[in-house]
Amino acid sequence: MAAIYPVARAVEHAAGLAGVQPLRVFAVLWPLWQVEITARVEDPAEYELLDSFVTRAVGQAGLDTAAAVAGFLGLGERTVRGCVQYLMTVGHLTADGERLELTPRGLRSMHDGRRYESKEVRQQLLFDRYTAGPFPRSHYANAVTVLDRPEPSLDGVRGSRFTALFASTAFRPEIVDALVRRPDRTGYNVPAEIDRPRVDGVRDAWLPAYLVRTGQGLLAYTAASDGRDAFVEGLCRQAPEVTSALPDTPPEDAERRWEAWLRKEHGGGTLRRQPNGVWRGTLPASAFAAGNRRLASYVVHDELFLQLWCDDRALRRTAMRDRALRIAQSRDVDSRAALDRRLGDLGRQYEVEPSTVDDLRAHAGRTGQEDLLARLEALPATS
Amino acid sequence: MTVVEVRLPGPLALVPSQGAMRRLGHDLPDPVTLAAELTRLSQRDGLPARIDESRSRPSLAVYTDSCVLWLGLTQNGDAYRINGAAPKGLKDHASLVKGALLLRTGAAWWALPDVADVARMRRERGMTFDTSFSQLLAAWRAGLAVAASPPANPAHTRFLDVLTEVVEAGREIDAAKLRDAEPLRYRQRAATREQRHSARGVYDFTLLRRPDLVKGAVVRIEERPALRGRVVHIRDRTVTVRFESTVDFPAIPPQGGLRPLPSDRVYTKQLEAIGAIRKGRAATDRLLPMLVDGHVLPYQPEAHARPAGVADDEQLRVFRRALGVRDALLVLGPPGTGKTWTIGEIVAACAARGERVLLTSHTNRAVDNVLERLPPHLRAVRVGNEDALTAGARTYLAETQVEALREEILRRTEGAAARLAGVAGGHVDRWSVHLTDRLAEATSAEQAVTAAAGAREHAVRRVTLPLRERAEAAEQAVARAEEALEAARRAEATARDRITRIASLPGLLRGVLGLLERPLRRRADRAAQVGAEAGAALTRARSELATAEGAARVVADGDPEVTRLGRVVTAAERHRDETLRRVEQAAAGLRSALPADVRPAPEPAQGPAGPAVDLAGRHREAAALARAAAQSRARATLLAQWRDRVPTSGASLQRELVKYADVVAATCIGTATTELLAELEFDVAVVDEAGQISLPNLLVPLARARRAVLVGDHRQLPPFLDEDVRLWAQRRAADPDADPGTGAQIGDLLTRSGFERLYGTLGEDHRDMLQLQRRMPEELATFVSRTFYNGRLRTRHPGGGGNPVFRSPFAMVTTADRPAAERGERRPPKRAESHGYVNPLEAGLIVELVTGLTAWHPDWGVILPYRAQVDLVRELLDARLGDPGRTAECVGTVDAFQGGERDLIIFGFVRSNDDGRVGFLDELRRLNVAISRARRQLVLVGDTDTLERAGDEKFRQVMQAMTAYLRHSGDLRTSAEITAVL
């Protein structure tokens, strides 16, 4: 699985924001601490049969030796001793010679009907290295990949070389304590049941992110969210070490480089600058004969990006519908409402009227892409 | 990210160069600001820095939040010159991540305009600047040498990768074979008489052709893929299948196909075990060090442990080591050396000291052999496929135990349930209420008595009020007189005591103090007199009091009100006693309604007078009975729920039986494929027949146990290797792109068992050998020992032979005396369905031998290397002996006899040809198994000519040695001779 979506998507999103002038995009690896904590929790397990009734025989029926319990339940004493031994191992019973007694945990379990076992749980916690701030739950989702090593290129992400960011801060265990004390800690992936966790190991980790420098500030994009990552944007505001390394002026040689690129890749094309400062290269329809995936999307080289365009409206509409069908397969699109939002965005991006679901159906039928409709049809109205 | 911290003493001086000044103070901060920034960073988290050694003179780059400064040493070497400066960019981040120094100092960075200022500062302020550059350089170089993060042990990872590849190849090959194969067509299906253990359907399928199936294989109906089951029984062309669930008989097509399914479960579990080891989640972390590095943990054998039975020297040593070893012990157990016994003792001893033992092996029979000999007080559970077990082992099955347990539970608790039902039925409640009411009555009756007595007392006092004063005065007089008497007595005693003491003094003192004597005597006499008077006064006062009291009584008794009230009191007392008696009855009733085991002891009697137990006592008693009643109610409920749940909780009980067992027994594959063992870990795994278990299969139980004892013999049969897998391995090794090491590793994994691999690598302390064999006669054992066990076997045997035909327990009948055409091997006839070779001459000889010897050796077996020859001999013997069941049992291939023994063993070599071709006979381990089965007499039948000319060198040597040995210490006869004798 790719560590993060391709950079073009981040640029598309930024370029689509009203009043924003995207200047440059940076693919970075944001430095984190990945802290492994261990803690003991009282895990409620389901009682089986014998353990439940042996517990109740001791706790409710006043039978306080293995022999008495065995006689009462009609079991062999050996079997009961096996169960008693087990219950002693998990701290539910104590024995004073032959006399059995429930421990506080055993009593609690009996009353709650759940066999509490003290278990050690381990989990990872993520902290930003610049601010020592904890990451919210959203960044622990499966879709978010956190790397062990600062790899410059990530599989599946074509064309991007990620620069690892450097942080000189040293880890202090107090930041874990501070997080555990917060009343809102469940929002930071620390479950309520965990009590007094112990730090068992700290390693460096890296979060792939795209930072888009605009005339209005820095936008951040990670796999944690469909659109902008507000949390990482907040981190940027507090990390001058990072922002100072990201130039905030429009690149001077963009025009020249893109002209050269257009000539080389497509033998020409018209270069124009959009009102929001984004460069657009217009090509004839023939350039998209082999495939229209890149139409209205972005080519990214280093920190520069170029939108590929075609004046052929019909071609753009087709490309948009193909794109819409692909988007409908994505995990992020989990309802009709979400799909409609994306269709609206696409309409603006491709500068044609937004498609409706009927349009997509018809399009899929015409182009033999009916198999892509299945997921679309199954979407609920809202997520 | 390599980050090396360096502490610098400082202070540090910066002198900007002209080139640098073009930027500093313009688009970049001025030097003083920068110096302050450097100081701040150095004193806080550390100042990031890198050293560039690419030029002739190494330079230092330091990084603030916004810019980077390139520094070089000044000529004097005591300050840094700022050679250049630039804004910090992403490139710098990337470089720092690759490697960085973090400079820390408690001192400060100084920006000085000129180099001369450095000396000036020293003169004027006594400041000595230090660049500490050599320290930085050293730290930088050291940091570069350190790997960023230690990679996981590569040899371990490679090993696991190769293992995974082998398992997945096996799975693929298996699946492909079954996919490509035709389903087994059947022409009839029918109900069976198979023993039922549940409601699942069991049906017979008559196939068109004899199938190549093994018992336990999973099949499904081709036309109804949802109908899946396991093969329970194969008899010629009839296959009995036990389905996974209750099957609607009409749903099975009358004619159709059975498709064997790949038993993917096994591969999945092997991969799971490998995955667990990879992630460090196995029960032990010693497997990789042992298997890959040959590392073991030192340990002490249990010096004083003794097995329950009598052990020979090696068995005892093995026993003690097995109890003490912390990772793995490998025990080589040649034939007849008492492996099963030793294993049983080890398992029992481990279980007895509280270890949870996993007893496992390659075959069900081996597992059951040990299981059935375990002492009965151990909790043992058998897990596995019910059809593959002996009847004895089946009783240990979790399912069977649960069945028996359920019945027993219900039977044993029936009585108690009935008794307690009375409790729940309300008897106890009714008696409780009754007792409470009676007790309330008694309490109010007691209160009535108190009230009545009080009223009477009140009346008495009222009536005797006038006399009160007199009585009180008399009381006071008594008191005073008593006091006076007491005082007088004390005074007298003191005085007399003094007199006595003076009297006992020595002469001189007595004389002096004697003067005191007379006054003392007088005092004493006076006190006595006072005392006498006081005594008289007391007597008078007492009599006065008695008189006063007597007068009061008379008055009271005479008062009609008092008398009346007295009668009221008596009546109340009578009523109270009556209620107490009723309470007693109620308590007795409740007591008898309660089950005997919760009845509290009755209250002790107070005394002979009055009711046996007073009210307070009855209250206590009632409380105790109430508690007992509550308990019996709780027990009634509990028992009812228990009896209700038990019949339907089979799965839960099974899981618990396994969880609480001391010993869990299963085959290696069985440990993998059952859900009952899902979360369980074991303290020790004892593995039998380990020489026959491939490493992937062995890892499944080993990954679940903290330590292991492996018992096996790699000089007997090796793990089964599927031909297609072997070809795959060959291709893989021959692949020019492949890493040659991997090819060799794969080959090794497939041909050697885990046992063999470890036996050679773990060192003396972790391997051992049983050496006293009790099965084979000495003549035979010596040969086996020499050939396969480096001569290390000893023998304890009463002696073999015992038939008039052969002169030695180790005998051979050679067909070399016959012409080639007669003794030669043949291909089996077309109609038969087996492969291989037959040898009619040998077959005939064998039949003669069996017939001739069975009188002296009723316990016989015939072992043949080829199925076709097995079929032929069986056919001939059936005709001769007329007992097909017996022949089927007693004639078989080597695999059928593995682990077994007979008094008489006949082994036929079958191969006889001009070229010395012997086929897979050259697998010497198979020969070892075959000939080491005999307890009294071994007879080999073969063409010594062919055998002694065999193509394989090792085999040839052994054959030559064997014939030489036979001539010398055994009995080598020609076929003609034997035919004559028989």
- Cross-chain Cβ contact A78/B65 below 8 Å: no
pLDDT tens-digit map of B714-750: 999 988 888 888 888 888 877 777 677 788 888 888 8
| B626 part of a folded domain | no
- Cross-chain Cβ contact A79/B66 below 8 Å: no
Give the residues across from B380 on adjacent strands.
B663
Q: Which of B1, B62, B67, B97 should we substitute to test contact with A (largest number of A Cβ atoms within 10 Å)?
A: B97
- Cross-chain Cβ contact A73/B413 below 8 Å: yes
Residue A383 pLDDT exceeds 50 = yes
Per-residue confidence (pLDDT) for residue A226, from 0 to 100: 81
CB B711 within 8 A of CB B342: yes
> Do B90 and B130 fall within a single domain?
yes
Give the tokens for residue B264.
């993917």
- Ranking A219-223, B540-544, B672-676 by mean pLDDT, the lowest is B672-676
CB B710 within 8 A of CB B758: yes
Interface membership of A241 toward B (CB under 8 Å): yes
Q: Mean pLDDT throughout B947-954?
A: 91
Give whole-number Cα distances, B283 to A355, B158, B177, B923, in Å.
58, 21, 35, 36
Q: Mean pLDDT throughout B319-332?
A: 95
Last residue of a domain, one of B553, B576, B599: B576
Residue A157 pLDDT exceeds 70 = no
CB B321 within 8 A of CB B328: no
Q: Which of A28, A148, A244 lies at the smallest CB-CB distance from B65?
A: A244
Phi and psi torsions of B299, nearest 5°: -160, 170
Please tell me whether residue A308 adopts helix, strand or coil conformation: strand
| B608 part of a folded domain | no
Q: Which of B379, B409, B598 lies at the smallest CB-CB distance from A78?
A: B379
Find the CATH number of the domain harbouring B258: 2.40.30
> Do B783 and B925 fall within a single domain?
yes
Q: Which of B102, B412, B598 lies at the smallest CB-CB distance from A168?
A: B102
Last residue of a domain, one of B555, B576, B597: B576
CB B189 within 8 A of CB B204: yes
Per-residue confidence (pLDDT) for residue B149, from 0 to 100: 44
What residue ranges in B236-353 does DSSP mark as E strands?
238-243, 256-261, 328-332
CB B135 within 8 A of CB B142: no
**Beta carbon pairs, A and B, within 8 Å:** 128
Q: Which of B42, B633, B660 should we substitute to test contact with A (largest number of A Cβ atoms within 10 Å)?
A: B660
> Do B469 and B385 fall within a single domain?
no
Q: Which of B100, B638, B646 lies at the smallest CB-CB distance from A166?
A: B100
- Cross-chain Cβ contact B653/A49 below 8 Å: yes
> Do B378 and B468 fall within a single domain?
no
> Do B233 and B338 fall within a single domain?
no
CB A48 within 8 A of CB B652: yes
- Cross-chain Cβ contact A74/B655 below 8 Å: no
| B658 part of a folded domain | no
Interface of B with A in 105-124 (CB under 8 A): none
Instruction: Please list every residue in chain B whose beta carbon sits closer than 8 Å to the beta carbon of residue A31.
Output: 97
Give the residues across from B242 on adjacent strands.
B202, B230
- Cross-chain Cβ contact A166/B96 below 8 Å: yes
> Do B837 and B967 fall within a single domain?
yes
CA–CA distance, B243 with B713 (Å, rounded to integer) = 37
Interface membership of B380 toward A (CB under 8 Å): no
Contacts of B501 (CB under 8 A, 6+ apart): none
Q: Mean pLDDT throughout B573-593?
A: 89
Residue B200 pLDDT exceeds 90 = no
Single-letter amino acid code for the residue at B926? R
> Do B819 and B890 fall within a single domain?
yes
Residues making up chain B, counted from first to last: 982
pLDDT band per the 50, 70, 90 thresholds, residue B832? low
CA–CA distance, B877 with B860 (Å, rounded to integer) = 13
Find the CATH number of the domain harbouring B333: 3.40.50.300
Q: Which of B93, B411, B634 lies at the smallest CB-CB distance from A163?
A: B93
Phi and psi torsions of B830, nearest 5°: -55, -40
CB B80 within 8 A of CB B73: yes
Instruction: Please list every residue in chain A whose beta carbon sits closer than 8 Å to the beta carbon of residue B47.
Output: 168
> Do B759 and B780 fall within a single domain?
no
Residues making up chain A, counted from first to last: 383
Domains of chain A and CATH, by start? 7-39+121-243 (no CATH), 47-113 (1.10.10.10), 254-309 (no CATH), 313-377 (no CATH)
Interface of B with A in 331-350 (CB under 8 A): none
CA–CA distance, B695 with B705 (Å, rounded to integer) = 15
pLDDT tens-digit map of A14-67: 998 888 899 999 999 999 999 999 888 888 888 999 999 999 999 999 899 999
Per-residue confidence (pLDDT) for residue B972, from 0 to 100: 92
- Cross-chain Cβ contact A165/B97 below 8 Å: yes
Q: Which of A55, A79, A102, A151 should we substitute to test contact with B (largest number of B Cβ atoms within 10 Å)?
A: A79
Residue A268 pLDDT exceeds 90 = no
Last residue of a domain, one of B542, B559, B576: B576
> Do B492 and B345 fall within a single domain?
no
| B763 part of a folded domain | yes
Per-residue confidence (pLDDT) for residue A83, from 0 to 100: 94
How distant is the Cα of B140 from the closest Cα of chain A, in angstroms? Answer: 16
Residue B793 pLDDT exceeds 90 = yes
Interface membership of A117 toward B (CB under 8 Å): no
Residue B150 pLDDT exceeds 60 = no
Q: Mean pLDDT throughout A207-223?
A: 92
- Cross-chain Cβ contact B660/A83 below 8 Å: yes
| B883 part of a folded domain | yes
DSSP single-letter state for residue A166? P
Q: Quick check: ipTM above 0.85?
A: no
| B917 part of a folded domain | yes
Residue range of the domain that includes B972: 774-981
Interface membership of B96 toward A (CB under 8 Å): yes
* Nearest one of B694, B733, B750 to B273, comparing CA atoms: B694
How distant is the Cα of A76 from the closest Cα of chain B, in angstroms? Answer: 9
- Cross-chain Cβ contact B408/A74 below 8 Å: yes
Per-residue confidence (pLDDT) for residue A234, from 0 to 100: 94
CB B937 within 8 A of CB B802: yes
Instruction: Please list every residue in chain A whose beta carbon sits closer than 8 Å to the beta carbon of residue B412.
Output: 74
- Cross-chain Cβ contact B409/A75 below 8 Å: yes
Tokens 């690598």 -> residue: B761
CB B92 within 8 A of CB B143: no
- Cross-chain Cβ contact B89/A48 below 8 Å: no
CA–CA distance, A195 with A203 (Å, rounded to integer) = 22
> Do B381 and B337 fall within a single domain?
yes
CA–CA distance, A218 with A232 (Å, rounded to integer) = 10
CA–CA distance, A182 with A188 (Å, rounded to integer) = 9
Q: Which of A63, A119, A168 should we substitute to test contact with B (largest number of B Cβ atoms within 10 Å)?
A: A168
Interface of B with A in 42-71 (CB under 8 A): 45-48, 63, 65-67
Per-residue confidence (pLDDT) for residue B663, from 0 to 100: 95
CA B19 from centroid of its chain's CA atoms: 75
| B595 part of a folded domain | no
Start-to-end Cα distance in chain A: 25
Q: Mean pLDDT throughout B753-771?
A: 92
CA B336 from centroid of its chain's CA atoms: 30
Give the tokens for residue B154.
């590569």
CB B317 within 8 A of CB B301: yes
Q: Mean pLDDT throughout B80-104?
A: 89
Phi and psi torsions of A219, nearest 5°: -105, 145
Look at chain B and report how many structural domains it folds into: 5
Residue B1 pLDDT exceeds 70 = no
Interface of B with A in 449-488 (CB under 8 A): none
Instruction: Please list every residue in chain B whose beta carbon sits closer than 8 Å to the beta carbon of residue A242.
Output: 93
CA–CA distance, A167 with A162 (Å, rounded to integer) = 16
CB B101 within 8 A of CB B4: yes
- Cross-chain Cβ contact A79/B379 below 8 Å: yes
Interface membership of B35 toward A (CB under 8 Å): no
Q: Closest residue of A to B635, CA-based?
A: A61
> Do B793 and B939 fall within a single domain?
yes
Interface membership of A88 toward B (CB under 8 Å): no
| B300 part of a folded domain | yes
Q: Which of B405, B638, B662 lies at the smallest CB-CB distance from A56?
A: B638
String of DSSP letters for A169-224: PPP-THHHHHHHH-TTGGGGT--TT-EEEEEEEEEEEEEEEEEEEETTEEEEE-TT
Average pLDDT, chain A: 88
pLDDT band per the 50, 70, 90 thresholds, residue B37? very high
Interface membership of A171 toward B (CB under 8 Å): no
- Ranking B424-438, B579-593, B802-816 by mean pLDDT, the lowest is B424-438
Tokens 């590392």 -> residue: B295
> Do B785 and B698 fall within a single domain?
no
Instruction: Please list every residue in chain B whose beta carbon sits closer than 8 Å to the beta carbon of residue A245.
Output: 87-90, 92-93
Interface membership of A50 toward B (CB under 8 Å): yes
- Ranking B20-24, B79-83, B444-448 by mean pLDDT, the lowest is B20-24
Sign of CA dihedral B559, B560, B562, B567: positive
- Cross-chain Cβ contact A164/B94 below 8 Å: yes
Interface of B with A in 650-689 (CB under 8 A): 652-653, 655-657, 659-662
CA–CA distance, B619 with B931 (Å, rounded to integer) = 85
- Cross-chain Cβ contact A48/B1 below 8 Å: no
Per-residue confidence (pLDDT) for residue B148, from 0 to 100: 45
